[in-house]
Amino acid sequence: MKLRIKQVRSTIGRKEDQKRTIKALGLGKINRVKEHNDTPVIRGMIAKVAHLVEFEEIN
């Protein structure tokens, strides 16, 4: 299973670790979308920046 992650809010004014997490997910601009495998590591990263992104499970 994969996850489709979309950045919906800006990282301006956010903590540095949140900015680095967004970059590690392959995002960085609003409305950018990336697909990742559904792993505990990716789920943890999404949880850390849940207020900045939306995600959905895809097959």
pTM for the model stands at 0.92
Q: How many other CB atoms sit within 10 Å of the CB of residue 23?
A: 11
Average pLDDT over residues 55-59: 95
pLDDT tens, 19-49?
Answer: 999 999 999 999 999 999 999 999 999 999 9
Res 59: pLDDT: 87
Q: Residue 9 is part of a domain; what is its CATH number?
A: 3.30.1390.20
The number of folded domains in the chain is: 1
The CA-based diameter of the chain, rounded to the nearest angstrom, is 35
Does residue 12 carry a pLDDT above 90? yes
Average pLDDT (10-23) is 98
- pLDDT tier for residue 55 given thresholds of 50, 70 and 90: very high
Residue with tokens 């949880």: 47
Which residues constitute the domain of residue 13?
2-58
